[in-house]
Structure 1
């Protein structure tokens, strides 16, 4: 399975350990979930923006096709 190595400062690592402990998760699980949540939210934003552009430009595209 592909893997990714990340580097953190000592302070960041302490924050991560504390967060993982609060959530009852391993560091690996916490980091994985955080990255995937970011990827999912960004993917949604791109899809939403594409839908809005298509909706807004539908009239313009129709007018251009008629010319």
Structure 2
């Protein structure tokens, strides 16, 4: 299974460890969920923006036809 090695400052590490502790999960699990959620959120946002662009383009094309 692929893995990823990420470097954090001491302050970032403390922030992440505190957040993981509050969620009751390991730092590794917390970081994994955060990264996957960020990627998923960006994909959803991109998909919505593209849908909006296509809808507006369709309206414009109808008016120009």
The verdict on a shared fold, with TM-score over 0.5 as the criterion, is: yes
TM-score, normalising length: structure 2 = 0.88
- 4+ runs deviating over 2 angstroms: 59-65
RMSD between aligned residues: 1.4
TM-score, normalising length: structure 1 = 0.85
Q: Tell me: higher relative CO, structure 1 or 2? Use CA pairs within 8 A at least 6 residues apart.
A: 2
Higher alpha-carbon Rg: 1
Equivalent residues, number:
65
CA distance in 1, matches of 2:13, 2:60: 51
Runs of 5+ unmatched residues, structure 2 = none
